[in-house]
Amino acid sequence: MALIVMKFGGTSVANVERIKNVARQAIAKKKAGNDVVLVASAMAGVTDKLIGYLNELTPDHNLREYDQMVSTGETSNVPLIAQAIISAGEAAESFTGVQAGIQTNNSHSKARVVRIDTANLKRALGEGKICVVAGFQGYDPASGNITTLGRGGSDTTAVALAAALKADKCEIYTDVDGVYTADPRIVKDAKKLDVISHEEMLELASLGAKVLVSRCVELGMTHDIDIMVLSSLEDKQGTLVTSKLGGRNMENLVISGITSDKNQAKIVVSGLPDKVGTASKLFTELADANINIDVIVQNATRNELSDISFTVQKNELVRAKNVCDVAANRVGAKVHADENIAKVSIVGVGITSNVGVAATMFRVLAEHAINIQMISTSDIKISCVIDEKFAEVAVRSLHDAFITGK
């Protein structure tokens, strides 16, 4: 008997009709002789609505209360799914993150899974039940507090459970039928990939391809779990994310994907003293406030002063700016924040071994009169920070240049 983890995202469980459809799919797997663990998100839009209430009160909210609040979207959805399965004649039991034994660290709003106590799930599976687990949530055993795993975290729950339960398959069902060379909602002629390496998927995901959250790909990579991305609405072949490719996509494309990430904001701290330890102090304070930093650029020194610019996730901008304001005040520097930015990236294992890729990217952006504010590169990606309003144009024209060859 095989064990299958099936994860359904928000649009796949957005209303009772869709929930009945999901119940049917889980029951079909069960009837085919498998053990089934179903991980579900909150109904589409619910998490955003809950966060909206908190932001209306204060954007600088307490993160313990944030977790306690936003986890309820999943908490209230899984009993409904379990009931749909029971009503269709199959045994099922719903589980919160706590009941599923998902232990995390105490990093509220982006907690990491530390350990999973699978006893409860194994007991229910042993009783022949389909386990319906709330995605996105866990708990910190030291304090007993509810935690959440970051936006899109139900993907992480699914892969973490697949690892802990040594599942035979991990299937992520969503509202597109696989991983494409760009977001198919932005680029109409984006190509579906039959297979992609964990490494490239990790890069695509962390650069904004939200079809999978990067943390789940990271887990898939470390635990060598193949992840199948499929449509919950159509019975079509999906995309396999695997390590069995030796790091290269089957299509042998130089560029495997184009992404954009609008969930970024830029902070510029200008007039910092050009002294040993300045960057260290600033970024230590940001790290102490548990803020993730992305692209960093330090400008050339003028008159013994320098500017440091960096990007953070939009939802951490207020906290990051507060930290920078305090640091800047101490040394007479100035802080400027810009929310209207996006990061566009090209991803592919061929980037460093192909001459002229960066030049082509910059030329394409220039041809569309898009100013590049920051650049960052790695072995398998080049990212440019640009004005948010050009994100879609940039993705389409880069896709034309690198993938469709127009």
Q: Could you list the residues that contact ligand ADP (CB under 6 A)? A: 9-12, 41, 152, 174-176, 179-180, 182-185, 209-211, 257
Minimum distance from residue 325 beta carbon to ligand ADP (Å): 33
- Cα separations (Å) of 29 from 34, 173, 247? 6, 14, 31
Q: Which residue in 387, 290, 310, 279 sits closest to 343, CA to CA?
A: 387
* Binding string, residues 7-36; x marks residues near Mg ion by CB under 5 A: --x---------------------------
The pair of three-digit structure tokens given for residue 287, joined into one six-digit string: 């790290």
Q: Which is nearer to ligand ASP, 163 or 268 (CB)?
A: 163
343 binds ligand ASP (CB under 6 A): no
The residue of the chain with the least Cβ separation from ligand ADP equals: 9
Minimum distance from residue 41 beta carbon to ligand ADP (Å): 6
Q: Which is nearer to ligand ADP, 255 or 328 (CB)?
A: 255
Minimum distance from residue 349 beta carbon to ligand ADP (Å): 16
Concatenate the DSSP letters of all residues of 152-196 into one string.
TTHHHHHHHHHHHTT-SEEEEEESSSS-BSS-TTT-TTPPBPSEE
Minimum distance from residue 292 beta carbon to ligand ASP (Å): 16
- Cα separations (Å) of 171 from 26, 78, 266? 11, 18, 35
Minimum distance from residue 6 beta carbon to ligand ASP (Å): 14
For residue 153, the partner it binds in ligand ADP, Mg ion, ligand ASP, none, with Cβ less than 5 to 8 A by kind, is ligand ASP
Chain residues 67-96 in contact with ligand ASP, contact rule CB under 6 A? 73
99-137 burial: b if 16+ Cβ within 10 Å, else e: bbbbbbebbbbbbbbeebebebbeebbeeebbbbbbbbb
41 binds ligand ASP (CB under 6 A): yes
| Residue 219 · residue 154 · CB < 8 Å | no
Residue with tokens 């449509």: 231
135 binds Mg ion (CB under 5 A): no
Letter for the amino acid at 208?
A: G
Q: Considering only the stretches 25-33, 152-160, 325-333, 351-359, report the one whose residues sit in contact with ligand ASP under the rule CB under 6 A.
A: 152-160
The pair of three-digit structure tokens given for residue 250, joined into one six-digit string: 């089957």
Cβ count near 334 (within 10 Å): 14
97 binds ligand ASP (CB under 6 A): no
Letter for the amino acid at 232?
A: S
152 binds Mg ion (CB under 5 A): yes
Q: Considering only the stretches 152-160, 228-236, 283-291, 316-324, report the one whose residues sit in contact with Mg ion under the rule CB under 5 A.
A: 152-160
Letter for the amino acid at 109?
A: S
Concatenate the DSSP letters of all residues of 258-297 into one string.
EEEEEEEEEEEEEEEE--TTHHHHHHHHHHHTT--EEEEE
Letter for the amino acid at 65?
A: E
Q: Which is nearer to ligand ADP, 81 or 272 (CB)?
A: 81
Q: Considering only the stretches 4-12, 71-79, 111-119, 250-258, report the one whose residues sit in contact with Mg ion under the rule CB under 5 A.
A: 4-12
Minimum distance from residue 80 beta carbon to ligand ASP (Å): 15
Minimum distance from residue 9 beta carbon to Mg ion (Å): 5
Angle in degrees, CA 338, 343, 346, rounded to 5? 165
For residue 183, the partner it binds in ligand ADP, ligand ASP, Mg ion, none, with Cβ less than 5 to 8 A by kind, is ligand ADP
Q: How far apart are CA 360 and CA 264, in angstroms?
A: 24
Q: Considering only the stretches 106-114, 149-157, 252-260, 291-299, report the one whose residues sit in contact with ligand ASP under the rule CB under 6 A.
A: 149-157
Q: How far apart are CA 178 and CA 249, in angstroms?
A: 14
* Binding string, residues 156-175; x marks residues near Mg ion by CB under 5 A: --------------------
Q: Which residues in this chain contact ligand ASP in the complex, by CB under 6 A?
A: 9-10, 41-42, 47, 73, 135-136, 151-155
Q: Which residues in this chain contact Mg ion in the complex, by CB under 5 A?
A: 9, 152
